[in-house]
Amino acid sequence: MRSQRRHADLRDPGIVVQLLLESAVGMLHSVQARAIVVAADALPEGTPVPEDTIVVVRREGDERLAEGLGVPPERRLEVPSVELDRLGQIKLAALIAASRRMLDLKDRAIFLSGPFGGLIDTMVVMHLGSECELIRAADQPGIDEHVKRAVFQRVLDLALHLGAYGREGRSIGALMVVGDTSEVQERSEQMILNPFQGYEAKKRNVMDPLMTETIREYSQLDGAILIRGSGVIESAGTRILAAAKHPLEAGLGARHAAAAGITGATKAIALTVSSTDGTVRVWRAGRMVASLEPGPRD
C-alpha cells in the first residue's frame, strides 16, 4: 500500500515540483551553487520559492506571476519568449543570466526545467564557466564593454523568433553581426543598395519595436545585417569577406563560415539562423559558443 501511494503521489505534477524544489535546495548547499534558476510559469501558483532563486520571465503575465511568488525585481531574469526544448531553455537562461552578471562564470547554478509552458520535471547542475564561453572569450572584451546587454538580448530575441517561426510560414536563414562595426565594415562589402542608408540613427535602432518587422523582412536578403553595439543598424545585404580560420562542423554552410570568419577577425558577435531547422547559433572569436534549437512549429 505504501509503495502504491508513493507511486500515485509521484504521478501528481505538484508533488514532483515540490520534490524537485526540495532536492534543488539540498543540492544548492551540497555543490555550493550560487542560485536555483526556474521559470515563473513552470511553478504552480502559490508555490513557495526558495531563497537564492532566479525566476525566469518570458511571457506576458510572468512578471505578475513572479511578483505573486514574492520574487523581487532584481531576482527576475527576462528572456526571449520562444519555445525551446528543456536543454534549450536552460542554455538560454544561463546565457542571459551570465551576460547580465546575475551569475558569474565561476558559479555553479541549478536549473529546473520542463516542457515549455509546463511544470518542471528536470534538474540540471551547471558550471557556467564550462558552458558560456560567449561572455568571456579569449582576447575579447566582456560582452557589455562594446555591446549593450539589452541590444544583445534584443538581437537574440529576433534571431530566435526567425528560427522558430520563419517568415510568412517559410523557413529562412539569417546572419546578424553585432558590435565592432567599423572593423566589420573593413572586412565586408555591400551586395545591394543599403536599405538603411540615409535614415537617422534613432529611426534604425533594433530597440525600437517599430523596427521589428523591417528587420525580419531584410533578414531574408543574402548577406548580413550589421548592427552597432548601441543597437543602430548600419546595413543589410552585406557580404562578409573574412574567412573562417577553424574547420566548421559538418553541415554548416557559407552563412556559418561568414559568422566564424568575421568574429575571428574582429571583436563582433554574430548570430546565425539556419534555414534548414531554425537553429540559432551564437559565434565569437571565430567559434560557435552557443546553439539553440527551436521547438517544433505549429
Mean pLDDT of 77-102: 85
Lowest mean pLDDT among 51-55, 183-187, 231-235: 51-55
The full length of the chain comes to: 298
Lowest mean pLDDT among 55-59, 84-88, 128-132, 160-164: 128-132
Phi-psi region of 154 (alpha: psi -120 to 50; beta: other; left: phi over 0): alpha
2 vs 173: which has the higher pLDDT: 173
Indicate the pTM of the whole model: 0.78
The per-residue pLDDT for range 249-272, each reduced to its tens digit, is 877 888 999 999 999 999 999 999
Q: What is the CATH number of domain 136-292?
A: 3.40.1700.10
Q: Is the pLDDT of residue 225 over 80?
A: yes
Per cent of the chain over pLDDT 70 is: 88
Mean pLDDT of 166-193: 89
Q: What 8-state DSSP symbol labels residue 210?
A: G
Write down the domain spans for the chain. Answer: 2-131, 136-292
Domain over 2-131 is classified CATH 3.40.640.10:
no
How many whole angstroms separate alpha carbon 215 and alpha carbon 180? 20
